[in-house]
Structure 1
């Protein structure tokens, strides 16, 4: 099973909230902060959970959480 990563731009104050939501869905993904000051994060998941991750991100956007998916690609192997 392949791993995938999302590179996401958000507001700095949303990073912890997004992390907690992803953590609440046991095993959905791992959130890594790439640039705390500028709100850049990476979420790593596997191919089996891609559709679920897309749904969670869509729901967050509908609730007013600023999420801009800059890239969705096969995981490059860097945490």
Structure 2
């Protein structure tokens, strides 16, 4: 069975966008961050199929630290998750 990645939309504090992006850049195999709306702190996170569990743990950690205010899973992506 094909593993699927997860595409997430998160509301974060505008001042924390660069910090969250840096975390995922450091662990680039886990996921990728894209800013959708920098004025309102809306980011999109694509979690790699092989690291969905690790990526969700990172998101939960960021939520517990107050960095992620809202989290909505908008869907799963197939094997071309990084191109969607």
TM-score, normalised relative to structure 1: 0.82
Highest Rg: 1 or 2?
2
Label 1:63 to 1:74 Cα distance change in 2 as closer, same or farther (>3 A).
Answer: same
Unpaired runs of at least 5, structure 1: none
Q: Moved runs in structure 1, 4+ residues, more than 4 A?
A: 76-79
Structural mapping, 1:1-79, within 5 Å: 1-75=3-77
> Per the alignment, do residues 42 and 16 of structure 1 end up closer, same or farther by CA in structure 2, a change over 3 Å counting?
same
Q: C-alpha root-mean-square deviation of aligned residues, in Å?
A: 2.1
Bigger drift between 18-27 and 66-75 goes to 66-75
Kept after mapping to 1: 8 A contact 2:59/2:68: no
Q: Across the two proteins, how many residue pairs are aligned to each other?
A: 79
Q: TM-score, normalised by structure 2?
A: 0.77
* CA displacement 1:6-43 (0-9 Å, x = unmatched): 11111111111100111111311111010000000101
In structure 2, stretches of 5+ residues that fail to align are none
In structure 2, distance between residues paired with 1:67 and 1:53: 16
